[in-house]
Amino acid sequence: MALKKEEPWADVVRLNNPEHRARLARVEEAMAMRLAGARVPRSAVLAAVVEKGLEVVERELGITKAKR
């Protein structure tokens, strides 16, 4: 039996939940305030949120970070 080819994660993710978008906007605003009003790219906001979220979920599932 052939192994199923692993699909890569998409580079674009749609955020359909308006509450999630509003929460991310508040995070973006708070990050900008910490940087003296400098613009924070949304990709940086999402990267920070994903990293912290992954740490929590990995810990809850007993998964350790992969070695780099």
Locate the domains of the chain by residue range.
Answer: 18-61
State the helix-helix crossing angle for 42-61 and 18-34, rounded to 10 degrees. 110
Q: Tokens 């999402």 label which residue? A: 46
- Distance in angstroms (rounded) separating the CA atoms of residues 42 and 39: 9
CA-CA distance, 7 to 17, in Å (whole number)?
25
Say which range, 4-8, 46-50, 51-55, has the weakest mean pLDDT.
4-8
Q: Is the pTM of this model over 0.85?
A: no
Q: Using an 8 Å Cβ cutoff, are 15 and 21 in contact? A: yes
Residue 22 pLDDT > 90, yes or no? Answer: yes
Phi, psi of 39 (to 5 degrees): -70, 135
Given this model, what pLDDT does residue 2 score? 61
- pLDDT of 68: 55
